Structure 1
Amino acid sequence: MPRVRKSGVVLAVVGLGLGLAGVGATSTAHADEVLVAVAANFNAPLARIAEGFEARTGHKLKAAAASTGKLYAQIGAGAPFELLLSADDETPARLEAEGRAVPGSRFTYAIGELALWSAQPGLVDAQGAVLGSDRYRHLAIANPKTAPYGRAALETVRALGLEAAVAPKLVTAESIAQAHQFVASGNAELGFVAWSQLSVPGQTPGGSWWRVPPKLHQEIRQDAVLLKPGQGRPAATALLAYLKSEPAQAVIRAWGYRLPDTAAVGAKPAGKP
């Protein structure tokens, strides 16, 4: 399992082959550690946030990243995560209703944006009209059954009336991270990715892209929730509080997310008046 170390932070990326055994080794985490299940789109921002969190609190953060649906399944199967940073607001609410999350701990930490991206300069136009053209053979999206960004991608295609046209070209990725990889590697000429994957601080996005108007899909509200294994754990409680702090929110904004108080007014789910 690949790991990235940054100032004491260990980010364990949950891939296709990782089962519960992959996260079980961290179940004996000390009181000054918090084990976080994080949606794949927020993995990189969390690494930066973790640096400030560790410096301020002295706690350590360990994270496992995957699609929200896969993380939900692992939590249901007994994975010892203490905190979930979801890519939607439905999964944390469901976990709370099922008694797997602490009531009243849920809040929106970020609002995500969708982008159509190609590694090829000039392929994607400013209106996304390339979707209805014959200039590409493969369109990568995250699995809409498990990844909220994949669901938003399908909603966008339907809102544009292009579902039948793009259906033969769809390449389904396990997560939004893998969808980005498919496009970056050239295995797919186009892909729907998280805007945050293209707006990395200090880097200029390569290729060409279209920021999808929020009105074309349901708002991607990303909620955090304290899971039952984290109840009463100082590091888990401290991380929830830190996510609401200005240093953490500055990182979130820098990565291209919106915050609830800066959300676009009047944005509506696709297809609704």
Structure 2
Amino acid sequence: MRPPKLLPSFLALCLGILFPFAMQAQNSRVVRVAAAADLQPVMLIFAQEFEKETGIKLVVSLGSSGTLATQIVNGAPFDVFLGADFTFPEKVVAAGKAEAAPVAYAKGTLVLWARKDLGIAPLHVELLTDPRIKTVAIANAEHAPYGRAAVAALEKLKIYDAVKPKLVVAENVAQTGQFVESGNAQVGLISLTLASSEHYRQVGQFVLMPFVYPEIRQCAVVVKGSDHAADAKLFLDWVLSDKVQGRLKDFGISPVK
């Protein structure tokens, strides 16, 4: 069985993506956030609202949880790490680079997503083994939690061997969606956060994957030795507040409370 294909396109999305709105500003109160790629649409809103409420700007870098964790362990100057699972924040803790143990801030959901012009509606999981579907995008399971969830789901559904030759492997879940949107893959297994964002709803359609994969419990840590530790903790407390937790479902993730 040949291994999954790894496309070189969209490499700009592989490692941390710096939002235009989060350029280093004159304001001295800045929190540098390393955020899992599934949070791309969420962080756009969080950054705007948090700054409005506190005056503190968020500088947000997006990437796969594994890549971001490795960067933090190697000394990258982040203040907060919002991972897409428990494993990679725990890696930061084990390396002595976190102020405390990981704290869960949300629970994620895996979906099957395709462009509306795929010509197949409604979507259904059986499409993954349909001969009309030649390419299926997933995130790299080695360092992307949603990629791990995708592989686990395919294995649990006993269709991994059938789907494996079709796999197109992206570096993170945001790039997975980009592969499908650009036509490099026909369908993809991505996060509900991406699929339910305004842009993805306009151009695509999705269906929830059966909940046969391990819980995607997204956890965060404050990075040890941060120059902005107080503001970093303030941001994490804000994310965990009843006000924000009560709105998470609007963004495609579930609250932990």
Which of the five TM-score ranges fits, normalised by the shorter chain? 0.7 to 0.9
Q: Provide the identity percentage.
A: 34
Structure 2: gaps of 5 or more residues = 1-11
Q: Distance in 1 between matches of 2:221 and 2:227?
A: 11
How far off its partner does 1:250 sit? 4.3
Partner amino acid for 1:72?
Answer: A
Q: For residues 213-271 of structure 1, give each alpha carbon's deviation from its aligned partner in whole angstroms, at most 9, with x where no partner exists.
A: 22x1001010011110337622112101111124432442211111123xxxxxxxxxx
- Contact 2:222–2:229 (CA under 8 A) maintained in structure 1: no
Is 1:218 the counterpart of 2:201? The answer is: no
CA displacement 1:78-98 (0-9 Å, x = unmatched):
101111000101111222122
Structure 2 residue 232 is the aligned partner of structure 1 residue 236 = yes
**Does 2:173 correspond to 1:176?**
yes
Please, which moves more after superposition, 37-46 or 247-256?
247-256
Q: Is the 8 A contact 1:116 1:210 kept in 2?
A: yes
RMSD value over aligned CA atoms?
A: 2.4
Taking the TM superposition and a 5 Å limit, the aligned residue runs for 1:46-195 are 46-104=43-101, 106-119=102-115, 120-121=117-118, 123=120, 125=122, 127-195=124-192
Offset of 1:204 from its aligned partner? 3.4
1:135-177 Cα shifts (integer Å, max 9, x gaps): 1111100000010000000011111111111111111001101
Query: Could you tell me which amino acid in structure 2 is paired with residue 110 of structure 1?
Result: A
Give the secondary structure class of the aligned counterpart of 1:228.
Answer: coil
TM-score, length basis structure 1:
0.81
State whether structure 2 residue 253 is matched by structure 1 residue 260.
Answer: no
Provide the residue aligned with 2:4 in structure 1: none
Contact 1:54 1:61 (8 Å CA) reproduced? yes
State which drifts further: 142-151 or 244-253: 244-253
Cα 1:66–1:191, aligned 2, differ >3 Å: closer, same or farther? Answer: same
| Secondary structure of residue in 2 paired with 1:103 | coil
**TM, length-normalised to structure 2:** 0.85
CA deviation string 1:158-215 (max 9, x = no partner): 111111111111110011011000001111011111111111259735333220122x
